[in-house]
Copies of this chain bind each other. A is one copy, B any other.
């Protein structure tokens, strides 16, 4: 399975470059019968759209999704769903200079090494626009999960030195500010910090946190396709992610077992963990608690400030990456994180239907039949 395809059963293949004709995704393995409209997907795409605040690139794109296949009379048919977003503002710039050198912090040099040359317009395939396909597919996955009572919510946890305060935590506030922080005061401080970064022609990093509610115990395929491991991969495959942690994450390295272990108790006749240091998995399988993880995003590598680099002729030069850049990646990545989580959880829930013979016999004892 080549590198732009993810998932065992709910399998997605994304395609497209920043300044090509468009970007998109094919979902192979989506179950039949899901009511699906372009609007279901558009809502997610709108959340990642640029040009929405003074902290995002002013590139104007409609990012309008078109469902090309796999939906008939408003429902998914079980056959591949092809989703496309046409690029509309791709010819706005002269990239000949960027073509000649390697931008620090970008994939210019490594793409050139791997493929011999690169699409240098807007970052080509390594552009953030590549995530449109992920988000479009993730929107479908999230809708299926929602029908099964599972919700996924990500938000900006920190921007540079500014972190949300859980005492003020209020998810409804998140969409009220340009930085997707569920804490209005932190959002204010963060925006002030970003203004400073911008003034200094610089950028800064941040952390996105994500919580998944409603996943039943028993999801995950040891010993490699653990829910934890597949989440780590899915999230780490987003450009700019440099760290991932589940539950207590790196803090566990300083903890004692007696504090880190989550005791079990009973609640309404059901087993329930009394704390959630593990972040919702044990042995890589969901334990019925909320799944909680964080991802660290590096600062936007494109900065107006002068930087040292080399050009394709092997000369050391000084460059300043022109244009208006987002000074921060994390807030716009919030919806991407949610979508990668949705793709991961759904795929493992689908595979997980085959774990037990009793359930499989039960399933096939009622054979597949045409709808009435």
- Say how far A41's CB is from chain B's closest CB, in angstroms: 15
Interface pick from A47-55, A57-65, A181-189, A239-247? A239-247
Check A9–B2 contact: CB distance below 8 A: yes
Which residues from B are CB-within-8-Å of A274?
Answer: 308
Contact status of A82 and B16, CB under 8 A, knowing A104-B261, A364-B216, A368-B359: yes
Is A10 part of the contact surface with B, judged by Cβ < 8 Å? Answer: yes
Is A138 part of the contact surface with B, judged by Cβ < 8 Å? Answer: no
Is A144 part of the contact surface with B, judged by Cβ < 8 Å? Answer: yes
Check B229–A282 contact: CB distance below 8 A: no
Chain A residues 198 to 253 lying within 8 A of chain B, measured CB to CB, are 200, 202-207, 216-226, 228-237, 239, 241-253
Which residues from B are CB-within-8-Å of A171?
Answer: none
| Distance in angstroms between the alpha carbons of A255 and B303 in the assembled complex | 13
Is A332 part of the contact surface with B, judged by Cβ < 8 Å? Answer: no
Check A206–B253 contact: CB distance below 8 A: yes
Q: Contacting A255 at CB < 8 Å: which of B31, B104, B205, B330?
A: B205
Which residues from B are CB-within-8-Å of A153?
Answer: none
Contact status of A3 and B28, CB under 8 A, knowing A109-B217, A244-B236: yes
Closest to A340 in B: B224
Residue total for A at the interface (Cβ-Cβ under 8 A): 177
Check B265–A316 contact: CB distance below 8 A: yes
Which residues from B are CB-within-8-Å of A370?
Answer: 109, 112-113, 116-117, 312
Is A176 part of the contact surface with B, judged by Cβ < 8 Å? Answer: no
Contact status of A314 and B266, CB under 8 A, knowing A16-B68, A77-B118: yes
Is A92 part of the contact surface with B, judged by Cβ < 8 Å? Answer: no
| Distance in angstroms between the alpha carbons of A225 and B3 in the assembled complex | 5
Q: Contacting A9 at CB < 8 Å: which of B68, B197, B351?
A: B351
Check B232–A242 contact: CB distance below 8 A: no
4 further contact pairs, Cβ within 8 A, besides A32-B355, A257-B300: A15-B70, A109-B217, A113-B370, A243-B244
Most buried by B among A72, A261, A361: A261
Most buried by B among A110, A226, A281: A110
Which residues from B are CB-within-8-Å of A255?
Answer: 204-205, 298-299
- Say how far A257's CB is from chain B's closest CB, in angstroms: 4
A-B contacts, 22 of them at CB < 8 A, read A1-B28, A3-B223, A5-B224, A10-B354, A20-B70, A20-B72, A32-B114, A72-B117, A72-B121, A78-B355, A78-B356, A104-B262, A105-B261, A106-B283, A107-B285, A158-B254, A226-B236, A239-B284, A243-B245, A243-B252, A255-B299, A265-B316
Which residues from B are CB-within-8-Å of A353?
Answer: 353-354, 360, 363-364
Q: Contacting A308 at CB < 8 Å: which of B239, B265, B312?
A: B265
Q: Contacting A254 at CB < 8 Å: which of B6, B77, B160, B356?
A: B160
Check B13–A5 contact: CB distance below 8 A: yes
